[in-house]
Each structure stands twice: as C-alpha cells, then as structure tokens.
Amino acid sequence: MTAEAEVRGLRASEKRAVALLGVPTLALALTSTLVTTYTPVVAREFVESSAVIGMIIGLEGLVALWLPLLVGTWSDRLNTRIGGRLPFLLAATPLVIGGLIALAFMGSVAVLAVGAFVFFAGYFIAYEPYRALYPDAVGDEVQGRAQATQAVWRGAGTGLALGCGGLLLTWGQAAPFIAGAIIYVVSISAFAIVLIRRGVPRAPRGSGGGGLRSVLALVRGDAQLKAFLMANALWELSLAALKTFVVLYVIEELGFSQSASSGIIGGVAVGVLFAGLYSGRLADRYGAARVLRVALPIHGLGFLVPLLTTDPLLVMLSVPFIALGGGVIMALPYAVLIPLMPDGERGALTGYYSVSRGMGIWLGPLLAGVSIAVVGGYHAVWGVCAAATLLSLWPLRRL
C-alpha cells in the first residue's frame, strides 16, 4: 500500500482461521525462546566462554540458511489428504521433543551442540510449511492484522517462556525444557485435529511448479526481494542477540535475582505483545513498510540507553521505546513479504523468509557473544542490537 487504505473488518471465517493458526506459533515461540534464552544460563555452568555459547545458539541460523528453503519448496509440491503443509509440522514433532529432552539433561558441550542442532532442525521443518498456511488461508488485504495476531501468539509464547522459564529453572535444570516439550505436543496435536476437522487450506493450483531454481531466479531479478533479505536479516540479528543474553544482562549487570529477572522480562514481553497487535491495523491502513520506517529509529535509539548506563531507572525508561519496535519487528516483516509472493511459490518464499532470518539468527548470538567477551560486560549486546536496527533502515527504503 502506498497510500492510506480503508481497513475492512475481519470476516468471521478469517477470525477463526487466524486464531487457530496462532496455536503452533505459541508452541514454536515458547520452545525456541526456552532454548535460546535459558540454554546459555544452564551452559554457563560448564562453558566459560560467551563466544562459544553464542556459536552454539547460532546453530539455529546455520540450519535456517538451507533447510527452510528446501522444506518450503517441497511443501508447495506435496499433495496429501491433509494438504502439503501439515505433514511437515507433524513429522517435525519428534525432532523438537528429542532436542528439548537432550537439552534438559545436558552436561557437556557435545550434548549441548547435538541437542540444539536437533531442536533447530525440527523447528524449521515445522515452521516454514506452517507459516505458508497464512497466505493460503487469509486474504492479502488483512495480512497486516493476521500477522499482528500471529505476533500476539508469538509474544505470548515468548513471554511465557521468559516469565516462567527462570522460575522453572529454580526447580531444576530439566524443568523448563520438559515443560516446553509437553506444551508443544499438546498444542500441535490440538491444532492438527481441529484443522483437519475444519478443512486444511490448500495452496493455489499449480503451486511449486518451478521449484527451487525458479525461486532463485525470481530473487535474482527482484530488487525488493534482495532488500527484504538484508533488512529482515538485520531485524532478526537484533532479536536473536537480545534473546540470547538478556537474562544474563539483567542478572549480572543490573543485579536482579533469577526469579526477579523472569518477572521483569515477562512484563516487557507484555508491552511487546500489545505493540505488535496494534501495529497490524496500522499496517493494513498505511502499509507494513511505512510503519516499520517510523518505528525502527525509535527502537534502535532506545537500545543506546542500556548500552551507555546501567542505572535501573534510566534503563526502565528506555524499555517502552524498545518494546514498541520489538512488537513491530515481530509482527510485520512477513506481511511485507507476502505481496511479493507469486501464488505458486508461497512455501518456497516462506523458506526464503527464513533464510533471511537464519542469517540474522546465526550472526546475532555470535556477534553479541564476541562483543561481550571483548568489552567485558553483557551491556555490549545493546550496541549490537542498536547497530543492526539502524542499519536496516537502508534496505527498508526499497520496500
């Protein structure tokens, strides 16, 4: 959208579809946040280097560089009684659960690395085909609100993980990961049963005709898709760096206890959730890229406060600005990409979306870990977040 558009209300069928589609997001966001946020806390007991921890958590990004594009393209072509997307979500469940169980009982770098890799492989096998259900099920004119609703589910899962993970960790190392595995199985099972009963949304006829080669050819000839790759990678870099070390920052730099840090971070997650929800309506009216252009400078400059001071009052004053941009980044990037998708390549370009995520998810924890080691304090992570966010304004101009 290049001009203000009239925003129609969601139809009843769209509301039900969007609400149902959010359930896997909660499960995926909760388990992913538990792994990326609390694995470093546990690993600190047997890994001294923050750079090593960042490299292992960055495995998520390495997996995302290749697996999503393959799986997304395959889901465009697959044709079963339950569609082409849902089988991947079901097949990935044993890998997600296996990775969580391995992390629950990790005690060495080897077990940590294997558990993280298995979990992330399952996560991306599930995520790409599942995410492609959104353009299959919901019209383009309401994608801003659809993605904002998904961001609410994502924020809820992230908030639950951040708010309860620290408390569960006080009961034992395994508690948060086992709890995450149970929630994941229940959520995905309930989603699959209800979706099959309602009728699985089908991809447009002729989907996936060109496969991986046609997607690569499409990207090579499209400046906007190239700009999206760079911009989304920088947004995910910022989010991944923050998620990996924010708990350690609150504990080590601000001096709060583990349980108190969970409450503080959970409260911030609520702000992120509301910002993401409201941003969807703005995106449908003004355009997702335009909303991002307004929110990102506020978000990026907000990171400079905790970078430069550890005064709790000043840090708390910066939180609303950080939460505002965080909600927008969680809600709108996929809504920017959807209008650029040919009907026959939705799964593949959803995989392309996660390739861009993977670049950021890989580099974020790694750069943050190295920065922390060089500077000698966890506050260095805020500098990485600020730089990535503000740099993303350059490719965003083309979208």
Which tens digits make up the pLDDT trace of 228-269?
Answer: 999 999 999 999 899 888 888 988 898 888 777 777 877 787
CB 154 within 8 A of CB 25: yes
- Reference 152, options 33, 267, 273; nearest CA is 273
For the beta carbon of residue 378, count every other beta carbon within 10 angstroms. 23
Q: How far is Cα of residue 293 from the mean position of the Cα atoms in its chain?
A: 20
Residues 182-193: what's their mean pLDDT?
Answer: 96
The answer, yes or no, to whether residue 9 has pLDDT greater than 80, is no
Tokens of 260: 């108190």
Q: Return left, alpha or beta for 183; rule: phi > 0 is left, psi -120 to 50 is alpha, else beta.
A: alpha
Q: Give first-to-last CA distance, the chain, whole Å.
A: 11
Does residue 144 or residue 324 have the better pLDDT? 324
Q: How confident is the model at residue 270 (pLDDT cuts 50, 70, 90)?
A: confident
pLDDT in the model for residue 60 = 81
pLDDT in the model for residue 38 = 87
pLDDT digits (tens, 9 = 90+) for 211-227: 556 667 778 878 999 99
pLDDT in the model for residue 167 = 84
Count Cβ neighbours within 10 Å for each residue of 225-245 and write b for 16 or more, e otherwise: bebbbbbbbbbbbbbbbbbbb
Residues 325-344: what's their mean pLDDT?
Answer: 84
Residue with tokens 């299959």: 136
CB 180 within 8 A of CB 31: yes
Does residue 291 or residue 204 have the better pLDDT? 291
Q: Is 284 exposed, middle or buried (0-12, 13-18, 19+ CB in 10 A)?
A: buried
The answer, yes or no, to whether residue 178 has pLDDT greater than 90, is yes
CB 68 within 8 A of CB 124: yes
pLDDT in the model for residue 29 = 92
Tokens of 140: 């383009």
Residues composing the chain: 399
For the beta carbon of residue 142, count every other beta carbon within 10 angstroms. 23
pLDDT in the model for residue 1 = 46
Spatial distance between the Cα atoms of 274 and 327, rounded to a whole number of angstroms: 7
Alpha-helix runs per DSSP H in the chain: 12-33, 39-43, 50-57, 59-64, 67-77, 86-104, 109-137, 143-169, 175-198, 211-220, 223-248, 258-286, 288-302, 304-308, 312-331, 333-337, 346-375, 380-391, 393-396
The answer, yes or no, to whether residue 399 has pLDDT greater than 70, is yes
Residues 307-316: what's their mean pLDDT?
Answer: 90
Tokens of 199: 């009728």
The answer, yes or no, to whether residue 3 has pLDDT greater than 50, is no
CB 81 within 8 A of CB 399: no
Dihedral sign computed on CA atoms, order 305, 311, 312, 317: negative
How far apart, in Å, are the Cα atoms of 155 and each of 32, 76, 163? Answer: 12, 28, 11
Spatial distance between the Cα atoms of 328 and 288, rounded to a whole number of angstroms: 9
Look over the chain and give the mean of its residue pLDDT values, rounded to a whole number: 85
Residues 173-197: what's their mean pLDDT?
Answer: 95
Flag the least confident range among 64-78, 93-107, 283-297.
64-78
Does residue 124 or residue 263 have the better pLDDT? 124
Does residue 148 or residue 394 have the better pLDDT? 394
Residue with tokens 């409260």: 267
pLDDT in the model for residue 142 = 65
Nearest 5°: phi and psi at 79? -135, 105
- Reference 247, options 36, 11, 61, 85; nearest CA is 36
For the beta carbon of residue 252, count every other beta carbon within 10 angstroms. 16
pLDDT in the model for residue 342 = 75
Who's near 249: CB < 8 A, 6+ residues apart? 306, 378, 379, 381
- pTM for this predicted structure: 0.74
- CATH for 12-202+211-396, options being 1.20.1250.20, 1.10.10.60, 3.20.10.10, 2.20.28.270: 1.20.1250.20
pLDDT in the model for residue 208 = 46
Nearest 5°: phi and psi at 48? -85, -30
Q: How confident is the model at residue 302 (pLDDT cuts 50, 70, 90)?
A: very high
Q: How confident is the model at residue 139 (pLDDT cuts 50, 70, 90)?
A: low
